[in-house]
Structure 1
Amino acid sequence: MSAPLFAAMPQLAVNVLDAQSLLVAFGVLGVGVVMFAETGLLVGFFLPGDSLLFTAGLLCAGTSNTGLRLSLPPLLVAAAVGALAGSQCGYLIGRKAGGALLARSRSARLHEGAERAEALLERYGYAKAIVLARFVPVVRTVLNPMAGALHVPVRTFTTWQVVGGLLWTVGLTVAGYALGSSVPNVDHYLLPVIGVIVVVSLIPLAVEIHRSRRSAVAQEDGARR
């Protein structure tokens, strides 16, 4: 093997857990593929959906020092199509295979996500659970086949997964773009910024949990009286 080929080999390595590595290697197309895999295939539960969307939006601003610049309109389309198609695919897999695929998995994290997904569906109802799940890693992967296995009506699932999918993909991507456009060299602080974004994305779920607990407490107090 020649020396130039050896020199090129490190450039071919892609870290699938690193958003920036994925974007450098595959660009906008990679965003769509990752969105589909994370939301439609159980094997994609480990993929960095939140950080990928935010980083991709940031790179559209053209202020990063990576040398990579993406175009915002095709990025938004790729992210939305991948996420929506992935969720629908996961739902259909759940309808056909039931819980068999989850039962075969040995991943404790995946089973924990399945339990949280089922709890969301039972506690908040179909609409809220499907939308909120988009903002919770792992849960957004397993809720779709779980909804199919539990025979959530197709129209109900499709309507709310589209709403949640657009809020998630467009929201995080535009947030990255807005920050990249307003803060020079923001990519130097990418890790802490992504951490903040992930925390912020969990706020809707936290608010809903708080409301649910307050409602349960109020009902208990009313029953005692």
Structure 2
Amino acid sequence: MSDFWDIVQHLFNPRWIFLYFGNTALFILLAIVFAETGFFIGFFLPGDSLLFTAGIFGKDLSKNFYNVPFFIIILIVAIVAVLGNIQGYWLGYKSGKLLYKKKDSFFFKKKHLILAKIFYNKYKTTALIMSRFLPMFRSFAPIIAGAIRIDFKKFMIYNIIGALTWTFSIMLAGHYLDKRFPELKNHLEWIILLIIFTTTLPVILKLIIKKKALI
């Protein structure tokens, strides 16, 4: 049992994933990217930090995946991100109303769903692009889109734009920052915390304030 929890804890350490799994690291990355938006339990997965770290280890990823160019690696991740959002959309389309009646659990918090709905109502379909950079909203935005049944073609346009923007910006940032500052690998934890803090906190505080104002 202790070995299992050790593995679970390591899965939240992106550097460990790329160093330990080698040839299969890309598949773990793809699975996490899909699960983050394909299932409502994905909000706790380390998507942003994983993409950033994937950029840092881009050369190794390409080498371990048939030596394909790093650009193709990013494109594959973007495609999986698009597919994850489609899965999330259909999950919301089929069972969105039931989620509001679901009791809280370790993997599901209704307040996250409500905050995501407020976020979506404020920014409309562009929320699908913005939410890519916000861990909690990234998981629930496509579900909300499906639950309120927005036009699927419109959803796909913003879905694709959001996936491409998210994957290319974060992975290329890690890739080129590592080239400029090779010692970056030694301070990943602090950089990841900074990314999460600066992108998430302002939006969450703003939405909480708005939510209280509506009560």
Distance 1:201 1:171, change over 3 A: farther
Q: Which has the higher helix share?
A: 2
Aligned pair partner of 2:61 in 70, 75, 82: 70
Where does structure 1 differ by over 6 angstroms across 4 or more consecutive aligned residues? Answer: none
Q: Which residue of 2 aligns with 1:16?
A: 11
- Cα deviation, 1:123-171, whole Å, max 9, x if unaligned, reads 1222x21111111111110111111011111111111111111111111
Aligned pair partner of 1:151 in 149, 152, 161: 149
Distance in structure 1 (CA, Å) of the matches to 2:30 and 2:13:
15
Query: Which shifted more, 69-78 or 154-163?
Result: 69-78
Would you say 1:125 and 2:124 are equivalent positions? yes
Distance in structure 1 (CA, Å) of the matches to 2:130 and 2:48:
14
Q: Which runs of 5+ in 2 are unaligned?
A: 63-69, 211-215
Distance in structure 1 (CA, Å) of the matches to 2:103 and 2:78:
28
Give the structure with higher Rg (CA): 1
Q: Could you tell me the TM-score, scaled by structure 1's length?
A: 0.75
Distance in structure 1 (CA, Å) of the matches to 2:32 and 2:172:
18
Distance in structure 1 (CA, Å) of the matches to 2:11 and 2:186:
20
Q: Which amino acid aligns with 2:109?
A: L
Distance 1:16 1:122, change over 3 A: same
- Matches of residues 17-56 of structure 1 in structure 2 within 5 Å? 17-23=12-18, 24-25=20-21, 26-56=24-54
- Cα deviation, 1:158-202, whole Å, max 9, x if unaligned, reads 111111111111110000001111112211111112223334545
Q: Which amino acid aligns with 1:117?
A: A
Q: Which amino acid aligns with 2:193?
A: G
Q: Which amino acid aligns with 2:77?
A: A
Distance 1:100 1:22, change over 3 A: farther
Q: Which amino acid aligns with 2:169?
A: G
- Matches of residues 111-190 of structure 1 in structure 2 within 5 Å? 111-126=110-125, 128-190=126-188
Distance in structure 2 (CA, Å) of the matches to 1:149 and 1:74:
33
Q: Which runs of 5+ in 1 are unaligned?
A: 1-8, 62-68, 214-225
Distance in structure 2 (CA, Å) of the matches to 1:120 and 1:150:
14
Aligned residue pair count: 191
Q: Cα distance, 1:80 vs. partner? A: 0.6
Q: Which amino acid aligns with 1:70?
A: L
Q: Cα distance, 1:44 vs. partner? A: 1.7
- Cα deviation, 1:46-97, whole Å, max 9, x if unaligned, reads 1100000000100125xxxxxxx22223430232122110001100111111
- Matches of residues 179-218 of structure 1 in structure 2 within 5 Å? 179-199=177-197, 201-202=199-200
Q: Which residue of 1 aligns with 2:89?
A: 91
Distance in structure 2 (CA, Å) of the matches to 1:59 and 1:80:
17
**Contact 1:99–1:146 (CA under 8 A) maintained in structure 2:** no
Q: Which amino acid aligns with 2:170?
A: L
